[in-house]
Amino acid sequence: MALRVSFVPHRIPAFPASQLRSHRVSMASTLHSPSAEVGNVRKPFSPPREVHVQVTHSMPPEKQEIFNSLHDWAEENILVLLKDVEKCWQPSDFLPNPSSPGFHDQVKELRERSMELPEDYFVVLVGDMITEEALPTYQTMINTLDAVRDETGASLTPWAIWTRAWTAEENRHGDLLNKYLYLSGRVDMKQIEKTIQYLIGSGMDPRTENNPYLGFIYTSFQERATFISHGNTARLAKDHGDYKLAQICGTIAADEKRHETAYTKIVEKLFEIDPDDTVLSLADMMRKKISMPAHLMYDGKDDNLFEHFSAVAQRLGVYTAKDYADILEFLVARWEVEKLTGLSSEGRKAQDYVCGLPPRIRRLEERAQARAKKRSAIPFSWIYGGKIMI
Ligand SMILES: [Fe+2]
Ligand SMILES: [Fe+2]
C-alpha cells in the first residue's frame, strides 16, 4: 500500500506534555512546546494539535473504485441495519416525563435509586457519557475517509446515508446518559460540561490516514468496545439495584452491537474482495494500537484524566486490557483471518502477526499488572473532587 507522509507543523499544545504522554497511543513523535503555559498562565484558548506525525491518504486512489462498486451491496447489507426513526427508542422513553403531574415523584425515585450507586461507578458512567457526547468528532473522523465521506452534507451515496443515520442514532446515547446524570444530582455537571467542550475542541487521533480500510477496522473495534462497556455498566447498575439505569445502559449497548454488525460486515466484504490489503490494514491498526475515542479528555484540572478514568473502568471491570485482547480475538475469528489463503508474503506475515497477538497482549498485560505501582486515590472533578482508588 503506497503511503504518503505529510508532516504536521508544530502547533501550540492545548495540554501539558504530561497529559499527552498518558495516552495509549505511542507518543514517540509528540511535539511539545512549553510556550502555552508561560509562568503557569494558560492562554484563554490554545488551539489543539495533532499528536503524531500524520500519514494522509494512504489508500491508493484506484482503490476508491472498490467502494464505488459496493453501493448496491451497501444498500442491501448495511442500510438495512438502520432502524426506522419511528421505531427507535428516544431518551424521553427512559426519563421522567416533564409534562406529567408525577414528574417530581419520578425524579425523586430516580434520585433515590441513584443513591445506591457508589462514586467510582459514577466516574465510569460519566466517562462513558463524555465519550458519547464527543460525537461531532466521530462524524468528522468518518468524513475524513476517502471514497466514503459525505461529500455534500446531504449526499445520497449509501456510505453517506449510513454515516448520517449512524450519527443520529448515536446522538441519543450521550443525550440520554447526560439527562440521567443531570437528574441524579450525584455529579458536578459544570465540570462534566467543561470536559465535553475541551474534548470536542481537541478532536481525536485515530491514525486512520483518510483510509476507509483503516477507518472501518477502527469503527468495528470501537463499536464492540462500547458494546462491552455499556453492557458492563448495565450489569453493575443491576447489581446495585438501579434497574432503570441498567435498562438505559443495556438499551445503548444493543445499539452498539447493531453498529458493530454493520462495520464488521463492511470489513468482512473488504476481506472478500481485497484480502491482502485488508489484513495489512488490520495489522497496521494493531501495531499502532487502537486509541480510545476520548483519549484527549481533559477537565481543566487533571493532566492525566483519561488515564485515571481508564484505571477506574479497569478496576470495576467495565472496560479492561483483557477486553482489548478479547475484541481483537473476536474480530480475527469473525473475519476468519486464520483461514485467508493466496496472500502475498507481506500479507502472510500480517496474518501471523494479528492471529498471534491476543495471547501476546494478555501476557504483556499480566506482566504490567504484576509490576503495577501501589494503588492511589485520585480526585475527580466530576464528583466534586471526591477521591477514587485507581
Ligand atoms: Fe454510542
Ligand atoms: Fe455505536
Look at residue 16 and tell me if it is in a domain: no
Q: Are 139 and 163 in contact (CB under 8 A)?
A: yes
Q: Which of 23, 32, 120, 132 is catalytic?
A: 132
Look at residue 9 and tell me if it is in a domain: no
pLDDT score for 325 = 97
Task: Inform me whether the pLDDT recorded for 368 exceeds 70.
Answer: yes
Phi then psi dihedrals of residue 32, to 5 deg? -130, 130
Q: What rounded mean pLDDT belongs to the chain?
A: 89
pLDDT score for 75 = 98
Look at residue 57 and tell me if it is in a domain: no
At 50-97, the pLDDT tens digits run 567 889 999 999 999 999 999 999 999 999 999 999 999 999 999 999
At 315-330, the pLDDT tens digits run 999 999 999 999 999 9
Distances (CA, A) of 198 to 48, 77, 177, 299: 10, 37, 19, 7
SS3 188: coil
Look at residue 118 and tell me if it is in a domain: yes
Q: For 4-18, 115-129, 337-351, which range has the lowest pLDDT when averaged over its residues?
A: 4-18
Return residues with CB closer than 5 A to ligand 2 (ion): 223, 256, 259
Look at residue 61 and tell me if it is in a domain: no
112 has binding-site annotation: no
pTM of the model: 0.89
Q: Are 173 and 223 in contact (CB under 8 A)?
A: no
Task: Inform me whether the pLDDT recorded for 17 exceeds 50.
Answer: no
pLDDT score for 5 = 37
Q: How far is the centre of ligand 1, averaged over its atoms, from the C-alpha of 78 (Å)?
A: 18
Q: How far is CA 19 from the centre of its chain?
A: 18
Q: For 8-12, 73-77, 136-140, 342-346, which range has the lowest pLDDT when averaged over its residues?
A: 8-12
Look at residue 45 and tell me if it is in a domain: no
At 130-182, the pLDDT tens digits run 999 999 999 999 999 999 999 999 999 999 999 999 999 999 999 999 999 99
Identify the CATH number of the domain in which residue 114 sits.
1.10.620.20
295 has binding-site annotation: no
Q: Which of 120, 133, 188, 223 is catalytic?
A: 223
**Which domain does 328 fall in, by range?**
70-389
At 89-141, the pLDDT tens digits run 999 999 999 999 999 999 999 999 999 999 999 999 999 999 999 999 999 99
Look at residue 189 and tell me if it is in a domain: yes
Q: How many domains does the chain have?
A: 1
Please tell me the distance from the alpha carbon of residue 195 to that of residue 321, in angstroms, as a whole number: 24
Q: How far is the centre of ligand 2, averaged over its atoms, from the C-alpha of 142 (Å)?
A: 13
Q: Are 120 and 378 in contact (CB under 8 A)?
A: no
Look at residue 121 and tell me if it is in a domain: yes
Is 256 part of the annotated catalytic residue set?
yes
Please tell me the distance from the alpha carbon of residue 130 to that of residue 110, in angstroms, as a whole number: 21
Is 119 part of the annotated catalytic residue set?
no
pLDDT score for 48 = 56
Please tell me the distance from the alpha carbon of residue 188 to that of residue 15, in angstroms, as a whole number: 22
